Structure 1
Amino acid sequence: MKIACVGGGPASLFFAILMKRETPACDVTVYERNPAGTTYGWGVTYSDDLRDNLRFADPETARAVIDNSVSWGEWLVHLPERPGLVMNDEYGGYGISRHRLLDILTERALALGVRIETERTVTGLADVADADLVVAGDGAGSVLREHHAEQFGTEIEVGRNPYIWLGTTKVFDAFAFAFAETEHGWVWCYGYKYSDQYSTAVVECGPDTWTGLGFDRMPQAECLALLEKLFAGILDGHPLMGQEAADGTARWLNFRTVTNRAWSHDNIVLLGDAAHTTHYSVGLGTALALGDAAVLALSLHQEPTLAAAFARYERERKDEVVMEQRAAGYSARWFEELHRYIDLPTKQLLALLSFRHSSVLPHLPPRVYYGLGWTASKFLSVTGIRRRLLARVQRERLSQATQTR
């Protein structure tokens, strides 16, 4: 089989690794439009589930990823005019530089015999016409998907709040949430380390706050200076770093939630963000993309035809993805409706921040929901159990495939 993977992100590279590892004779090429070593973004996060799934899918890749990751075991929430930072020790995780992750996957793919062609733009099927299988892993703005948007049933919902993806030399000891009040409304930051030298800082605010503070027209240097002032309490004098837009302003974005009715058409299959996106406030994008790669590779190895493999891939992935997209949507809504929660007593605010994935919370007064604490906890517990069961099933399938090699 001749396989063309369009897009050189984690999903395409990991899929190429798994296919070449299991079937060395297959011809796999990854096409990336940017120069080698070029990537946008600072660090990515993942959980124990992804770590364990990587170990089952490809132990060598897992070892390299784990060895280059840093971890945290708690949350820190910084609230103005309230004493100190509030700790929650129930939410651990891992961070790794996006650049280093891509290097690890690239090195592993090349070692297995995958061809990687950088500075190669694929604008349509004519550019990869000789491929038996075309994997569209070219991100949320997938060109291949857009050429067949009607067949895929693509829908894109643009989020309300502007956000900006930044880096900092402040190494956070824990996953940090920080909230800053301004005369035009609230601005908040999610911060997490991804190495021993750097952290990611994602800053978000409502559209009225964004225009009121002048972020929509402010040069990047002024924007970063203002944000450093607003979040001085967690940055401890460290600078923020970003990538400016073409007009010299800061690169603010609005999150785009991508869904597709179908994930395959003819010999094209969607992977990762091309198939689905989840809001950054839940930090699942990389984990879901790598999960797609593992299940697609397994389906292709165990099914007799492309059509059967595609059907199995969608069947096994869509349940989890839809569930996580819904949870991410409610998480995004929690921050869009921050005014409902920010003036609550500290204990209630922190509890509802933990429960922000709930589908019930937006429809009840926050204090009423908090008063139903046992019920809410039970609901989240059931959701968490389902997630863990799905992850365990995937690991068992990967383990079974490993034993039959």
Structure 2
Amino acid sequence: MRIACLGGGPAGLYFAILAKRADPTREIEVVERHRPEDSFGRGIVFSDRALETLRQADPPSHAEITRNFRHWSDIDIHFKGERITAHGHGFSGIARASLIRILQARAEALGVKVSNGSEFTDPSPWDDRDLVVGADGIRSAVRRSREARFEPVVRESRNRYLWLGSTRRFDAFTFAFRETAHGWFNLHGYRYDERTSSCIVETPETVWQAAGLADMGYEESLAYAEQLFADVLEGEPLIGNSQRFDHPSGWQRFAGIRCRRWWDGHTVLIGDAAHTAHFSIGSGTRLAMEDAIELARCLSRDNGDLASALARFQAVREPLALRALETGFRRMEWFEDIAAHAHLAPDAFAVALLTSSGRLDLEELRRRDPQLMGSFSATAR
């Protein structure tokens, strides 16, 4: 079987690893537009449960990934001059470039051909392959090439965001909130290696416009965000990204995407090419790699019947992806309207944030962090 994976991010590389392991006679090529060091997003977050899934799927790559992780269990929430710490949340961070290098080395060791720096806008050169896997992300060229067949449905956030890095080494997953004369801004920060953290700065479109950010260049936007969150950053700078942006200021809008159909003929979409999840729930890479696990499993199970394998793949994964999409939308909507929660006391605000996606309820929070919930209950009285 000849397979082309168009997109060499975590989804494409992980599928190539698992598919080659399952059948070493398969000829698999991964084609990626960028070099690993050019990867967008800087840091990636995995929960402890997600790491166990990766351990079961491919122990060698899991071992190498965990050797490069930064682990934490606390969430810090900065609001109205106070810092609320929530305990009992197990996460690990890794540089996206490091993850890709680990997966690429593992794939190549198994005999997968990996081509970096190979730009493509049309998947037709790979039409002679038995299977084409579109793993080329949210701006998928594979999806665009058959848009009428994949039927993507898109919902854009009402917020704008910048995805940056910083030399501020956060000790916990950090949320910070700032009220300005124009409205609310928030920062999501997490450390992913010994020296660097990811920082996402977000604000509603109306606030972005009122603050004059629509008329600023990229470097001006960085300086504005850096000054706004200077105390949380402890004087450390924000670091820009080499990614090309739709708007000159660098501020983007998250696009929630779900395709009604994930496969067409011998072409299948996985990861962000097929479905997205809002960055505030930290599930995008996990979902993409779980897609890779299931696609490899279905190919082996259906024993040469490609249509049955791809249909089974969508049937298994789509409900899980849609659940994550809806979870992400709930959290996205919460961040779109911070002003509606701003009257809350800091403890109550922290609990509202932690439960905003619906993944955690008050009982689970009480189990994880009795001290926080005791403080919240006292405030509520």
Does TM, normalized by the shorter one, top 0.5? yes
Gaps of 5+ in 2: 367-381
Q: TM-score, normalised by structure 1?
A: 0.86
Quick one: which amino acid aligns to residue 259 of structure 1? R
State the match for 1:389 in structure 2: none
- Opposite residue 171 of structure 1, the aligned amino acid is R
Output aligned runs, 1:141-220, within 5 Å.
141-220=139-218
Identity %: 37
- Give 4+ residue runs of structure 1 displaced > 4 Å after superposition: 244-249, 378-381
SS at match of 1:54: helix
Alpha-carbon separation, structure 2, partners of 1:111 and 1:121: 24
Q: Deviations over 1:175-208 (max 9, x none)?
A: 0000011110111000000001000000000112
1:47 aligns with 2:47: yes
For 1:309 and 1:248, the matched residues in 2 are separated by 40
5+ unaligned residues in a row in structure 1: which ranges?
Answer: 360-372, 382-405
Give how far 1:380 is off.
Answer: 9.2
Rounded Cα–Cα distance in structure 1 between residues aligned with 2:259 and 2:246: 33
TM-score w.r.t. the length of structure 2 is 0.91
Contact 2:246-2:252 within 8 A present in 1 as well: no
Query: Which residue is equivalent to 1:402?
Result: none
SS in 2 for 1:357: coil
Distance in 1 of aligned mates of 2:245 and 2:339: 33
CA distance in 2, matches of 1:119, 1:175: 33
Give the Å deviation of 1:320: 1.3
Contact persistence 1:122–1:128 (CA under 8 A): no
Matched AA of 1:205 = T
Cα distance in 2 for residues equivalent to 1:295 and 1:208: 41
Find the counterpart in structure 1 of residue 97 from structure 2.
99
The size of the alignment, in residue pairs, is 364
Q: What is the Cα deviation at residue 31 of structure 1?
A: 0.9
Residue 328 (structure 2) pairs with residue 328 (structure 1): yes
Q: 1-side partners of 2:140 and 2:27: how far apart? A: 23
Asked whether 1:231 is paired with 2:216, we answer no
Can you list the C-alpha shifts for 1:265-320, whole angstroms capped at 9, x where unaligned? 10001110001000001000000000000010011011131111112211211121
Q: Is the 8 A contact 1:61 1:105 kept in 2?
A: yes
Deviates more, 1:4-13 or 1:243-252: 243-252
8 Å CA contact retained: 1:281, 1:332: yes
Contact 2:123 2:141 (8 Å CA) reproduced = no
Match of 1:133 in 2: 131
Deviation at 1:221, TM superposition (A): 2.7
Aligned twin of 1:368: none
Tell me which residue corresponds to 2:371: none
Residue identity in the other structure for 1:269: V
Q: Which amino acid aligns with 1:285?
A: G
Structure 2 counterpart SS, 1:178:
strand
Mapped pair 1:265 → 2:264: yes
Task: Give the Cα separation in 2 of the matches to 1:380 and 1:266.
Answer: 46
**Backbone CA RMSD of aligned residues:** 2.0
Identify if the C-alpha distance between structure 1 residues 379 and 259 changes in structure 2 by more than 3 Å, giving closer, same or farther. farther
Amino acid at match of 2:339: H
